[in-house]
Structure 1
Amino acid sequence: MKILSIQSAVAYGHVGNSAAVFPLQRIGVEVLPVYTVNFSNHTGYGAWRGPLISPDDVREVLLGIEERGVLPQIDVVLSGYQGGEGIADVILEAVERVKVANPDAVYSCDPVMGNAKSGCFVAPAIPVLLRDRVVPAADLITPNQFELGFLTGTEPDTLESTLASVELVRATGPRTVLVTSVERPDREDGTIEMLAVDDSGAWLVQTPHIPMKANGSGDVTAALFTAHYRRTGDLADALARTTSSVFDLLTRTHESGERELQLVESQEAYAHPRMQFTPRRVA
């Protein structure tokens, strides 16, 4: 499998491609990383150095890849955080060109906007751009519950309302949806859930909630779920494998006391997930 991953990159820590590439490689996926920024560290520190890469420069890198004759081999285009409005056009152009070269290729979009605790942390134009242009072009999306609410103009909280919101966003284009950070008011205390839906049905998985903020964990989740699902087409299995790997990554990170994901130290969790959580069918 080959994944063209168009995302940010940092030298220190693990977000964007700096979070997604290694776990994908560890499960045997060939990744072509294309960077949209090249920062010293993620912006959560409040200070960083390095350049935003202009849309034209990103486009040039993609053109160079195309000139190597690689596009027919691409199985997935993956995108995440979009720092500026111009990069969306570049990503959508890349998706179109890849799908012309390989009609079986899919586009997986993590529509990063924010979360329930922090609110929106992207430029004001980005959520609208994602909702109106990018998400409808995707085959698979991985929003958190907060982002799903914006995409659909709803306030999903219960399982029923979250499922209803998923169906609304599926009607706009993407047939497969992974909802992360699902927090139902009637769930068990100290737990958090993920919900995956495609044409075959819906599956919910619950894990203990690890009390920490982990920048980049969503990028790892989107990457692993996309790869597992693309490889097998088995929604429940992809959800179980991803959940197991990410839970062990977050547990190791929390126990380390470090702020950055213990991405390399957790590599066995990607290659050989313990499968300690069993999704249940909910629709």
Structure 2
Amino acid sequence: MLADKLLSIQSHVASGHVGNSAAAFPLLLLGWDAEFVNTVQFSNHTGYARWGGIRFDATHLEDIFSNMRRNGLLRHARMLTGYTPSPEALTCVKELVTELRKNNPELVYLLDPVMGDMGRGMYVNPDVLPIYRSMLPLATVICPNQFEAQVLTDMEITSLESLRSVLRKLHKDHQVENVVVTSVALPDADVAHLGISNTLPNGEPAMLLVGSRARPDNEPEMWYLQFPELGNYFVGVGDTFAALTLARFTEGTQIPDAAHACGEQVPESPSECTLPIAWAVALAVASLQAILHRTLDFMKTHAEPGIDPFGDSNDLDIEDNVKVMRLRELRIVQSANDILHPTVRYRPQWVPN
């Protein structure tokens, strides 16, 4: 196995930044010799009023994987998987992950179980769910959102204690070492128990991310990170986050020099969490915050007269929808310095007992 080889399997768009087209630049910039297999090839993401392209089937993926195998190209130290369009295609991906895990027990694998979201429900074929569940023991890190964590465990998250039960089940029953629930809503009393509120001190709406590492007894060792929400205008944020987190995660295999954490990791207080996964997430969030701020600035300065880039794009006609979607594409390449040298303003904290 080559220490800097990384394989990313997820969707791709020709224009914009979603799936592999969101992950590629950060991974390569941070020193990973990354290779990419696309499960979907679209012109652009489906938030646009029109798009074209195809979803690849299992036969297509197996043809790629089998010839990589024949040529001795499956030598990856790390792996990332995201959106896969069908149960058959996902089964093919699972078989490859199983093979790589068998050949390299030290494989660091981040599974992003892309299935749906709160308020929207399942937006993929529901038959992928049992396959994702069977893939959980193969993963080093999983990054579900609240909806995905709930469907994976068949449990609702309605409180901090129910979240703890979900994490316990993922650790104990599914043998996942590291879980990052990328967005979660908790009752005000539970948020207050964490020592925070649903808004930041400056009044901005906040997002809450909760992570956990399995203790030897499989009890969750919980931590959290709160940061500005910055609106829900963007597509590809989760894909970028997963790539940045895997790129920065120092546990397991070696990482390239460019991916090593910059800035101060010494805890500022006893409540601060410095687990490798928590610090990787903090760095990923720091880079993403810069990308989103740059994108927001671009939206403000480049909008055409009469076009509100912050309005509901579903209310627009096709041509105006397309104009707005183009404005909202993540400014990833333009944020190269913030990917290499993020400024960490939001630091992970232990969840109090």
TM-score bin (small chain): over 0.9
2:268 equivalent to 1:253: no
Residues 71 and 101, structure 1, Cα contact 8 Å, conserved in 2: no
Within a 5 Å distance, the mapping from 1:181-220 to structure 2 comes to 181-186=183-188, 187-189=197-199, 190-199=205-214, 201-220=221-240
Q: Secondary structure at the match of 2:92?
A: helix
Q: Tell me the equivalent position of 2:44.
A: 41
Q: What is the letter of the counterpart of residue 38 of structure 1? A: Q
Distance (Å, rounded) in 1 between the aligned partners of 2:328 and 2:140: 33
Q: Distance in 2 between matches of 1:46 and 1:168?
A: 40
SS of the residue 1:182 aligns to: coil
Q: Which residue of 1 aligns with 2:85?
A: 83
When the two structures are aligned, how many residues end up with a matched partner? Answer: 281
Shift of 1:59: 1.4
Provide Cα deviations, 1:50-108, integer angstroms capped at 9, x if missing partner.
12222112112122222332333x11221111211111121111112212332211322
Residue 156 (structure 1) aligns with: 157
The 3-state SS of whatever aligns with 1:277 is coil
Q: Helix, strand or coil for the counterpart of 1:262? A: coil
Distance 1:163 1:251, change over 3 A: farther
Distance 1:168 1:105, change over 3 A: same
Who is 1:62 aligned against? 65
SS in 1 for 2:135: helix
Mapped partners of 2:132, 2:122: distance in 1? 13
Candidates 284, 287, 298, aligned match of 1:242: 284
- Measured against aligned partners, the alpha-carbon deviations of 1:147-182 in whole angstroms (never above 9, x if no partner) come to 111111222143332222111122212211111112
Q: In the alignment, residue 181 of structure 1 is paired with which amino acid?
A: S
When normalised by structure 1's length, the TM-score is: 0.92
Structure-2 separation of matches of 1:25 and 1:85: 30
**Alpha-carbon shift at residue 216 of structure 1 (Å):** 0.7
> CA RMSD of the aligned region, Å?
1.9
Per-residue deviation at 1:191?
0.7
Quote the offset at 1:277 in angstroms.
1.0
SS at match of 2:333: coil
The amino acid that maps onto 1:103 is: P
Matched residue, 2:243:
223
User: How far did residue 46 of structure 1 move?
Assistant: 4.3
Q: Is the 8 A contact 2:17 2:236 kept in 1?
A: yes
**What's 2:351 paired with?**
282
Deviation sequence 1:198-244 (CA, Å, 0-9, x none) = 13632211111111231110011111112222548712211211111
Gaps of 5+ in 2: 189-196, 200-204, 216-220, 261-274, 300-326
1:135 paired with 2:136, answer: yes
Instruction: Find the partner of 1:28 among 6, 31, 35.
Output: 31
Counterpart residue type for residue 154 of structure 2? G
2:341 maps to which residue? 272
For 1:69 and 1:155, the matched residues in 2 are separated by 44
8 Å contact 1:139–1:173 — kept in the other structure? no
Instruction: Map 1:167-178 onto structure 2 (within 5 A).
Output: 167-171=168-172, 172-178=174-180
1:114 aligned partner = 116
Which has the larger Rg? 2
Alpha carbons of 1:63 and 1:265: their partners in 2 closer, same or farther (altered >3 Å)? same
The answer on whether the counterparts of 1:71 and 1:102 sit within 8 Å (CA) in structure 2 is no
Check conservation: 1:7, 1:80, Cα contact below 8 A: yes
Q: Which moved more, 1:221-230 or 1:171-180?
A: 221-230
| Identity among equivalent pairs (%) | 35
**Superimposed CA distance per residue, residues 2-22 of structure 1 (whole angstroms, 9 cap, x where no aligned partner):** 211111111011111011111
5+ long unaligned stretches in structure 1: none
Letter in 2 for 1:188: N
The answer to whether the Cα contact below 8 Å between 2:83 and 2:114 also exists between their aligned partners in 1 is yes
3-state SS in 2 of match to 1:70 = coil
AA at the equivalent of 1:33: F
